[in-house]
Amino acid sequence: MDTLKTGAYYTPFKGDNGYYSMKKGETRLLQVPPLDQIKNRIWQTLYHTRRHLIQQEIDNRLASFSSRFNLVRKEDSIEKAKIKLTGTKEYNANSPVNSDSLSEADFDEVLATMDGGQIKLIELFPDAKKAPYDISEFDNKLKNLIEQIVLAAHAKELDYQSIPEINEQLNNIRNELLRTLLYKHEVKEKVSAAMDLITGMSPKEKQQKQRSMERELREKLEQELKNNFGFKFVNGSFSTALAEARRQKEIQIKEKEEKEKAKP
């Protein structure tokens, strides 16, 4: 075909269903973009086409790391949490969950332990938008959280955090946990304490009041972080916001150092 001119026909040939004739079409040069522009797309394609194999490898590694880091799932506590979240012992994967009825003691329930840390129920409910909506989502979030923490511990053990991409993911995990703790201590606990003192309201009124107080305290927390640490939300991403705050802080430090050097 390479010897034919554009628009010319190839010599007819016989195939399984008769004779075939091929025509050479227009020749166009294919522009291959630089790897940096398409590497994320390549990774996404590989991930989606080999997702089950990747997950299987993660599961195998997680199983091998469980004993190394003394990972223990507290199945009794997990079962107890599911019953409280669904309000029934007859729940299934599609049963909706509702965290409004949970107390602070419930949120402090430990679902898993490992060397150097533990996972509490509160960590599955960083905020209303990211809360699991049914038991299936609850199980997935718990599984993913355990995976992240254990694999992060393994990466640290092998000094993989020196690799920029892995270090970025480790920072994302730490930032997400930090967000959960901040939200718990500065919003959830304060609202819960205030709601305990409120009487004479219907359940619906109390729920509306609780959401209003949580929104108000959350906005106050964000403002304090912005004033004290240069924190601000960027595209709704907590991790990106922290990275931006660190960048701004580095700029301030650099400017201060330059001013010090410029002094006579």
Torsion of CA 33, 35, 41, 46, to 10 degrees: 130
Is the Cβ–Cβ distance between 82 and 138 less than 8 Å? yes
3-state secondary structure of 155: helix
Residue 19: what are its φ and ψ, rounded to 5°? -95, 145
H-helix segments, the chain: 35-49, 51-68, 75-86, 104-107, 135-157, 164-183, 189-196, 203-229, 238-262
* Separation between Cα atoms, residue 158 and residue 149, nearest integer Å: 14
3-state secondary structure of 111: strand
Question: Would you give per-residue pLDDT tens digits along the chain (264 residues)?
Answer: 567 778 788 788 888 888 888 888 777 777 778 888 887 788 777 767 777 776 777 677 777 777 778 888 899 999 999 999 999 999 998 899 988 878 888 888 899 988 767 888 888 887 666 788 889 989 988 888 887 777 777 766 666 555 565 556 656 666 666 666 677 777 777 888 888 888 888 888 888 888 888 888 877 877 776 776 665 544 444 455 555 656 666 777 788 888 887 776
Is the Cβ–Cβ distance between 81 and 142 less than 8 Å? no
Parse the chain into domains and list their residue ranges. Answer: 55-199
* Separation between Cα atoms, residue 40 and residue 42, nearest integer Å: 5
Stated pTM of the model:
0.46
